[in-house]
Amino acid sequence: MDASLRQLAAYAAVAKAASFTAAAAELHVSQSSLSRTVAELERSFGGQLLERDTRNVTLTPAGVEALRIAEQIINAHRAGMRELQQFMLGGAGTVSVATMPSVAAVVLPQVISTFKQRRPNVSVQIMDGLERSVLDRVASGEADFAICTVGSPSRLLEHRPLVRDRFVAVLPANHPLTTHDQVTWRELAEESFLAVGTNSSARRLADAAFAQVDAYTAPAAEASSVATVGGLVAAGLGVSAIPALVLPLMAPGSVEHRPLVDPVVERHLDIVQRSKQRLSLVAQHFLEVLDEARDQGLPLSEGAAWAR
């Protein structure tokens, strides 16, 4: 059985109109051509779908079932074509963004809200993870693009600046270092240090800063979550160093922060995508909203700023 969409549409028109003449006028074809098309469909099915006489057309039991199935197929095809058209025009589909938890929680919510107001039929999938896994998702094509730090350069990826944030010391309330306007890395190394996990870009940059001043200290404790580290600091178990952008993830009022100096360490967050890879229209529209947020100066944490 090999029925075409054209044959099914022709049969459905005749069956619903109960007339070859009326259906031919509706479809803008000759009555003889329409009659041949329905006859071809009946031969394909191996049975009669319509009872014909000189004035009337009625459906056989097989014809009733054939009409039901034909309409299902026709409606599904129309819906699929509308969906494809919307996708081609950027009004439907899915945007997959790979990023780090801090960006997902602090930068993206307002951007996604604005984007969804404009394109309510587009889904946004956030793939949050650590630096290496985020970049792997872009390189593999699993994500449309990423917002993350960039470690080792790769010819497979291209990037452009988005946010710059500097490292700050995170201190328990009433800690002696809170009397300082700024804290040095060497001063921080003399305290009980609470670190984020070794797979984090924040840990990589903090370790490099300690090494630069020859003041490396073994962490008193470490956790993969910045929020967990903040809880440990709030409990008075030590101090930490984090990028300024993630400060909102710390429990408000339970910790204090001061700029870290000697050296000043900045984290660079970039938009990363596959080299020479054309993004889908919906992904392009999402990046346009992100660029608008930067151009309009969407507020970021103290110590963080939009980059160009």
And the tokens for 50? 């319509």
Q: Could you give the domains of the chain?
A: 5-88 (1.10.10.10), 94-162+269-298 (3.40.190.10), 163-266 (3.40.190.10)
Q: What is the pLDDT of residue 206?
A: 93
Q: Of all residues in the chain, what percent carry a pLDDT higher than 70?
A: 94
Who wins on pLDDT, 154 or 148?
148
Average pLDDT over residues 228-236: 91
Predicted pLDDT at 92? 65
Q: What angle do CA 151, 278, 89 make, to 5 degrees?
A: 135
Residue 42 and residue 49 in contact, taking contact as beta carbons nearer than 8 Å: yes
Tokens of 307: 């980059």
In the chain, the amino acid numbered 124 is V
Answer whether 208's CB lies under 8 Å from 216's CB. Answer: no
Entry pTM: 0.69
